[in-house]
Amino acid sequence: LIEIKKGSYVQWALYVGDGYVIHVTPVGKADENVAPLSASSVTIPISKVKATKELLKEVVGKDDWAVNNNYDLNHAPLPVEEIIQCAEDCIDVELPYDELGIYSERFVTVLRYGLLLPPVPSRN
């Protein structure tokens, strides 16, 4: 799991190999009052998100990021092939949105562990 610090919130992505990640991006029209979900996104009012596959360097931009698999301490990840297949099956599927950052973490943890887990503390 990749944790990306985006100013006042954290964006999460799932690394799938060859420099690519799958993460949620907003679906909607532009609004200057909402922070973007990724470095390549425009600002929008968010009611739905969709899973997108992009290069990690494009998603991160100039933001700080780190691998954060803290859940591995208490939960065994699913087999890598299963994680990647499920993630790729989600690409371009629109999903309802709940909270900025929190949703992206839920999305990647369900893919990696097959479980809906509470938010993990960030690494400093």
pLDDT of residue 26: 84
Judge whether 38 lies within some domain: yes
Range of the domain at 45: 2-63+70-113
pLDDT of residue 79: 97
Judge whether 33 lies within some domain: yes
Q: Dihedral sign for Cα 37, 41, 44, 46, please.
A: negative
Judge whether 123 lies within some domain: no
Instruction: Measure the CA–CA gap between 83 and 36, rounded to whole angstroms.
Output: 26
pTM of the model: 0.76
The pLDDT tens digits along the chain (124 residues) read 999 998 888 899 999 999 999 999 888 654 444 455 544 444 445 678 889 999 999 999 999 999 999 999 999 999 999 999 999 999 998 877 765 455 788 889 999 998 765 555 544 4
Tally the domains of the chain: 1
The CA-atom distances, in angstroms, between 114 and each of 50, 96, 108 are 19, 19, 9
Write down the H helix ranges in 29-95. 56-60, 80-90
